[in-house]
Structure 1
Amino acid sequence: MELDTTDAGTAGTGPVTVRRGLPVGAERRAAEMYWDAFGRKLGPALNPPEKAVPFIAAHLNADRAVCALLDGQLVGLAGYQFGGRALTGGSAAAVLRMYGPLRGLPRLLLLALFERHPAPGQLVMDGIAVDPAMRGRGVGSLLIEEVAAVAAEQDCREIRLDVIDVNPRARALYERRGFMAVRTERTPYLRGLLGFGAVTTMRRAVGTTEAREL
C-alpha cells in the first residue's frame, strides 16, 4: 500500500509506503514521534522528555508496529496490541530503574490508568503518530487500513481504540475510517493532572471499508 506525495510539497520525492514492523535503527525516531503525539497524555507518568523518549525507545516491540516510510525515512507509525503484547512496553522494574523507587511508584499508578486489554476477538490500536510535515496527507488513513488488514489476518472481529477529548482531529480521522464511538468515560477530576477529562472508546468491525479518499 502506498501514497503518492510527489506533488505534495514534501521533502521526499517518492511515494509513502507502509510496512509492518519497525525498521531496525528507527527506534529513537519512533519514540520521538510517539512522544510528540502522546506526550501530553503520558507526560505526568514519564516526564521529563529527556528520560521519556529513551525509555520508550528502549522498550518498543517492533513487531507490533505498522510504519509509513518516505524515501526510507519513518514518517508515521501506528501501534497495536494483540496476543498480550503492544508497541510500547517496559516492565514495572524498568520504570523503577529509570526513575528510582520514590518517583517511580506514583508513575506506575498513572501508567496503570492507561492500560487497555483486548477482549476476545479484538485488536486494540494504541494510536497513530505522524510527522507534522506529513499530517493531513493521508498517512494516518494508510496506517489504519494496514492495522485493519492485520486484524483480519488474525481473525479478529473488531478493532478498538481510545481517544481523549482534547484530540478532536484524531477522533475525526477515526470516524472517517469507519470507527464508531461506543462509550465515553468522563474523569474531570483527572483533568488537572493528566490534561484531559474524558476518554471515548471507538470500535470498527473488521472487514469494514471506507470509500472516502485517503
Structure 2
Amino acid sequence: MTNGSGRIEVRRGVPEGAEERVAELYWEAFGRKLGAALGPAPEGRRFIASHLHPDRALTAVDETGGVLGVAGYQLAGRGLVGGDAAAVRARYGQFRGLYRVFLLALLERTPARGELVMDGIAVDPAARGRGIGGLLLDGVEEVAVEQGCRRIRLDVIAENPRARALYERRGFRPVQVRRTPWLRDVLGFGAVTTMHKAVATR
C-alpha cells in the first residue's frame, strides 16, 4: 500500500532496528496518557521499545525506510505494546510497579468476539497532512478482514478532536462516551469516546 505523494508505503510489522523509533512516535502521541504509568519520557520510551509485539503493528515508511507513522492493534490477546504485570514490577520495583500496573489496567481494552481493537495511530508531526493516518487505517482494515473480524473498535479521548475527525472521515461512528473526570489529573483526559466501524467479512 503506497501513497503517490513522496512514496509512503505501509508495511506489516516493525522494521528491524526501528523499535526505538516506533516507541518515540508512540510516546509523542500517547506519552501524556502513558507517562503516569510508565514514568518520564526516557524511561517510558525504553519500556515500550523493549516490549513491542512487532506482529501487531503496521508502519508507514518513506523511500529511505524511515518510519513516519505506526498503528497498533489487538488480536488474540496481544497488542502492540506488551509487558505484563510481572514485567512492570521487574522494571519499576514491587511498590512502584504495583501502582503502575493499576494505572495500565485502567487503559486496557479487551476485544469482543469478532472484533479488532486498535491501539492507536501515531504519525510524525513533521509528516502530518500527507494522508499517513488514512493509509494506516486502510491497513488496519485489511488486517481485520483477513482475520474474519466483523468490526474495528477504537477509543479516542475528548482532548484529541483531530484524531476523532480522522476516524469519522474514515467511517467510524461513536457508540459510547465514558466520562472519567477523576482521571483527568492522573492520565490527562476526562472522557473517552468508543467508536466502531463495520468491516466486510470474507
Give TM-score scaled by structure 2 length.
Answer: 0.97
Q: C-alpha separation between the residues in 2 aligned to 1:194 and 1:37?
A: 13
Give a deviation string over 1:143-187, Cα, whole Å, max 9, x none.
000100000011100000000111110000000000000000001
Q: 2:182 corresponds to which residue?
A: 189
Paired residue type of 2:124: D
Q: Which runs of 5+ in 2 are unaligned?
A: none
Write the deviation string for residues 43-87 of structure 1: whole angstroms up to 9, x where unpaired. Answer: 111111111111100000000001100021111010000011100
Q: Distance in 2 between matches of 1:120 and 1:207?
A: 15
**1:34-183 alignment runs, 5 A limit:** 34-70=26-62, 71-183=64-176
Structure 1 unpaired stretches of 5+: 7-14, 209-214
Question: What is the CA–CA distance in structure 2 between the aligned matches of 1:148 and 1:2, rounded to whole Å?
Answer: 15
Q: Aligned with 2:26: secondary structure?
A: helix
Tell me, in whole angstroms, the C-alpha distance in 1 between the residues paired with 2:155 and 2:30: 12
Separation of aligned partners in 2, 1:132 and 1:81? 24
Q: Which amino acid aligns with 1:38?
A: F
Equivalent pairs counted in the alignment come to 200
Structure 2 counterpart of 1:4, which letter? G
Residue 5 of structure 1, CA deviation? 2.6
Give the superposition deviation at 1:207.
Answer: 3.2
Distance 2:73 2:60 in 1: 15
CA distance in 2, matches of 1:176, 1:155: 23
Bigger mean CA deviation after superposition, 46-55 or 169-178:
46-55
Equivalent of residue 19 in structure 1, options 11, 17, 23: 11
Write the distance in 2 (CA, Å) between the matches of 1:109 and 1:92. 9
Letter in 2 for 1:158: R
Runs of 4+ in 1 over 6 A off after TM superposition: none
Matched, 1:198 2:191: yes
Task: After superposition, give the CA deviation of every residue in 1:27-47 in whole Å (9 maximum; x if it has no partner).
Answer: 000001000000011111111
Write the distance in 1 (CA, Å) between the matches of 2:29 and 2:4.
24
